[in-house]
């Protein structure tokens, strides 16, 4: 008798005896269950009767193609993931103090949150910046602010991640110029810029330029860093914000990978060899509360990307086929009601990221649904990672959930659903075309609406929100940003413009303007020259606005 026949008979016998008795007595238990992405969940999963060759094709060994089980042979037995708490608020001086505090508490990498004006290329004294300076991150107007931000923090000793997209080239130039002032060689700089503009059009909205010049800036960074800053991760292709906008886990993976395909193709079209830049591509995912679906999501994403890089783009180097990713716990899952419950949610999400094989992790703080996190809350969030790393035991073996019938089934199911989306997007002409038609945005909006409707109707329980609610809750300490911050930053800018060599600034900006008009010119060296001269972020971005234009979202009905 074959294994397949034996398992089929075993399951049939169980369904006709033990399970039938229970369901006859409790008919309400016939209810169908689903994952957070509405994938159906069976009552029981059995071993998959497949050949050893097929199993290895799907799962493989850790550190080997298709990387389903992880990108490193030893995973956390060799070293833990980078504990990289996302932080930044107010002025560069205030954020510098927070970074030093986090490093003193055992954080192993810095992750910079920029304020909204910085993210969309405006100086703090620009009229567009009114009311937003320093609110959701740190205000960085020039190389001078970057010098303050990293005062006392040597760049050859830390790995720095910068969540910046449309003006990513400018912030990277500030960082490189700062390294020069510190005497740190470029080849020693380690870190990541997000640099993912497509998801801004889809989900986040901090875009400046239209897609074509935006992709030019991205590929310019790929080319420049491959030669000048070889340890730098030149893009973090981000599903996090797609998920925060309301997508399912399946959509998060599908749309993120579709963005990745677009970037790789753009770089190849620009004349780059895939193995020249692919090893420095990284990804950024969310971790939500459906623990095992999230683990399966990470496994499926690695497998799909490896196959695409090998089969579609012909990547020959192993590193070019690996999907390495940072994870952040789910901001949209945090509740203002009973915020201490968020500590438990973040712990579950941390486990999902670690069991799924992340390379880097940020854990959200319990009070982020109320405001910027307090120092106590940030410490608890960091301690959550450290307890999972040192006390939980899940890091002792390379792939703790290997062989889980349910996880392996979910991995296959997510892969199949993602491939359907990728085929659909390909048929539409690629991700840029799908975005311009509004297809991706509508898919996310529909999922967000369905989720919210389930919460409001009580079909989906959110503890403390629609069940186990308290009539009154004690007030919580909230960190508040100084409302005078814009005035402080504006005065700094006034002094900077008075003290710098303005003729030199104008010379570098004119060179950048000329370079922007010639599509064959790599703009990174020109932006770096402007940064060294203390041209401001807004001045550099305004030159590019003049030449490239600004993107305006179209309404698709």
**Can you give 208-224 as a three-state secondary structure string?**
CCCHHHHHHHHHHHHHH
- Sequence-distant (≥ 6) Cβ neighbours of residue 462 within 8 angstroms: 335, 455
Q: Is the dihedral of CA 428, 434, 436, 442 positive or negative?
A: positive
Write the pLDDT tens digit of every residue in 365-376. 999 999 889 889
End-to-end CA distance of the chain: 58
Which among 175, 146, 143, 139 is positioned nearest to 489, based on CA atoms?
A: 139
Query: What per-residue confidence (pLDDT) applies to 556?
Result: 53
Average pLDDT per run of 10 along the chain, which is 557 residues long?
Answer: 80 90 89 94 88 89 96 95 87 93 87 96 96 93 98 94 97 98 96 96 95 96 96 96 98 98 96 95 97 98 98 98 97 96 98 97 95 91 97 96 95 98 98 95 97 97 97 80 87 97 98 97 98 98 98 70
Interatomic CA distance for residues 79 and 66, integer angstroms: 22
pLDDT tens by residue, 275-301? 999 999 999 999 999 999 999 999 999
Is the distance from CB of 190 to CB of 232 less than 8 angstroms?
yes
What does the alpha-carbon distance between residue 395 and residue 78 come to, in Å, rounded to a whole number? 10
Asked whether the beta carbons of 254 and 237 are under 8 A apart, the reply is no
Task: Assess whether the previous peptide bond of 66 is cis (omega < 30° from 0).
Answer: yes
Alpha-carbon gap, residue 186 to 229, rounded angstroms: 5
Distance, in Å, from the CA atom of 287 to the CA atom of 219, rounded to the nearest integer, reads 29
Q: Which two tokens stand for residue 484?
A: 């005078």
Contacts of 306 (CB under 8 A, 6+ apart): 65, 66, 67, 321, 322, 323
How far is it, in rounded angstroms, from Cα 359 to Cα 351?
A: 13
Contacts of 359 (CB under 8 A, 6+ apart): 71, 81, 82, 282, 324, 325, 326
Alpha-carbon distance of 515 to 459, in angstroms, equals: 56
CA 64 to chain centre: 24
Measure the CA angle with vertex 82, ends 76 and 85; round to 5°: 140
Q: Where are the alpha helices (DSSP H) in 500-536?
A: 502-516, 524-532
DSSP-derived secondary structure letter, 85:
E
DSSP for 106-134 reads: T--EEEEPBPHHHHTT--TTSGGGTTTTT
In whole angstroms, give the CA distance from residue 178 to residue 305.
Answer: 35
Give residues with Cβ within 8 angstroms of 510, minimum separation 6: none
pLDDT of residue 30: 87
Quickly count: other Cβ atoms within 10 Å of residue 393's Cβ. 9
The interaxial angle of helices 92-104 and 375-391, nearest 10 deg, is 30
- Residue 142 CA from chain centroid, whole number: 25
Q: What pLDDT, on the 0 to 100 scale, is given for residue 285? A: 98
Instruction: Retrieve residue 338's tokens.
Output: 């009973």
Question: What is the torsional sign of CA 41, 43, 44, 48?
Answer: negative
Handedness of CA 328, 313, 70, 424 (dihedral sign): positive
Taking CA atoms, 352 is separated from 226, 286, 356, 519, in Å, by 32, 10, 6, 43
Q: What stretches of 270-404 show up as alpha helix (H) in DSSP?
A: 274-277, 291-307, 318-321, 341-355, 375-391
Backbone CA torsion sign across 197, 203, 206, 209: positive
Q: Is the dihedral of CA 374, 200, 312, 58 positive or negative?
A: positive
CA pair distance 129, 493, nearest whole angstrom: 14
pLDDT value of residue 7: 81
Q: Cα separations (Å) of 505 from 88, 148, 537, 540, 543? A: 28, 21, 12, 10, 12
Question: Which residues have a Cβ under 8 Å from the Cβ of 10 and sit 6 or more positions away?
Answer: 46
H-helix or E-strand spanning residue 329 = strand 325-329
pLDDT, position 555: 57
Measured distance CA(119)–CA(169) in Å, rounded: 12
Topology of the domain covering 55-64+82-454: TIM Barrel (3.20.20)
Which tokens hold the place of 270?
């620009």
- pLDDT at position 5: 85
């Amino acid at each position: 008798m074959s294994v397949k026949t034996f398992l089929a008979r075993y399951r049939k016998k169980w369904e006709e005896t033990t399970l039938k008795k229970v369901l006859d007595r409790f008919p309400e238990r016939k209810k169908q269950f689903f994952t957070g992405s509405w994938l159906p969940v069976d009552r029981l999963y059995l071993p998959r009767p497949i050949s050893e060759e097929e199993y290895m094709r799907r799962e493989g060994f850790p550190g080997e193609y298709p990387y389903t089980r992880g990108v490193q042979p030893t995973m956390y037995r060799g070293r833990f993931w980078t504990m990289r708490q996302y932080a930044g608020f107010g002025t560069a001086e205030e954020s510098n103090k927070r970074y030093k505090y986090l490093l003193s508490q055992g954080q192993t990498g810095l992750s910079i949150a920029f304020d909204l004006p910085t993210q969309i290329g405006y100086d703090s004294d620009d009229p567009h910046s009114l009311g937003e300076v320093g609110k959701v991150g740190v205000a960085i107007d020039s190389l001078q602010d970057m010098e303050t931000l990293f005062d006392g923090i040597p760049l050859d000793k830390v790995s720095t991640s910068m969540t910046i997209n449309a003006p990513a080239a400018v912030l990277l130039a500030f960082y490189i110029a700062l390294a020069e002032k510190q005497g740190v060689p470029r080849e020693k700089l380690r870190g990541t810029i997000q640099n993912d503009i497509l998801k801004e059009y889809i989900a986040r909205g901090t875009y400046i330029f239209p897609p074509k010049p935006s992709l030019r800036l991205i590929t310019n960074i790929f080319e420049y860093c491959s030669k000048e800053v070889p340890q730098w991760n030149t893009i973090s292709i981000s599903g996090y914000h797609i998920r925060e906008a309301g997508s399912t886990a399946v959509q998060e993976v599908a749309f993120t990978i579709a963005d990745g395909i677009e970037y790789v193709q753009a770089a190849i079209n620009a004349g780059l060899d895939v193995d020249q830049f692919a090893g420095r591509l990284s990804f950024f995912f969310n971790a939500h509360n459906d623990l095992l679906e999230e683990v399966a999501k990470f496994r499926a994403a690695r497998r799909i990307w490896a196959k695409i890089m090998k089969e579609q783009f012909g990547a020959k180097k192993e590193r070019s086929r690996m999907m390495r990713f940072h994870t952040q716990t789910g901001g949209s899952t945090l509740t203002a009601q009973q915020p201490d419950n968020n500590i438990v949610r973040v712990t579950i999400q941390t486990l999902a990221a670690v069991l799924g094989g992340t390379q880097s992790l940020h854990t959200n703080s319990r009070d982020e649904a109320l405001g910027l996190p307090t120092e106590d809350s940030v410490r608890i969030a960091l301690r959550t990672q450290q307890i999972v790393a040192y006390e939980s035991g899940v890091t002792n073996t390379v792939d703790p959930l290997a062989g889980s019938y349910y996880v392996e089934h979910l991995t296959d199911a997510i892969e199949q659903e993602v491939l359907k989306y990728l085929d659909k997007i390909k048929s539409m002409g690629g991700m840029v075309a799908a975005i311009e038609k509004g297809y991706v945005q509508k898919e996310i909006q529909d999922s967000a609406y369905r989720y919210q409707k389930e919460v409001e109707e009580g079909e989906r329980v959110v503890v403390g929100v629609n069940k186990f609610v308290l009539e009154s809750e004690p007030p919580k300490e909230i960190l508040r940003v100084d409302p005078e911050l814009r005035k402080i930053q504006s005065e700094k800018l006034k002094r900077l413009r008075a003290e710098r060599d303005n003729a030199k600034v104008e010379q570098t900006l004119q060179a950048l303007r000329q370079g922007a008009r010639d599509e064959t010119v790599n703009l990174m060296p020109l932006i770096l020259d402007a940064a060294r001269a203390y041209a401001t972020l807004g001045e550099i971005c305004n030159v590019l606005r003049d030449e490239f234009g600004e993107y305006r979202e179209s309404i698709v009905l």
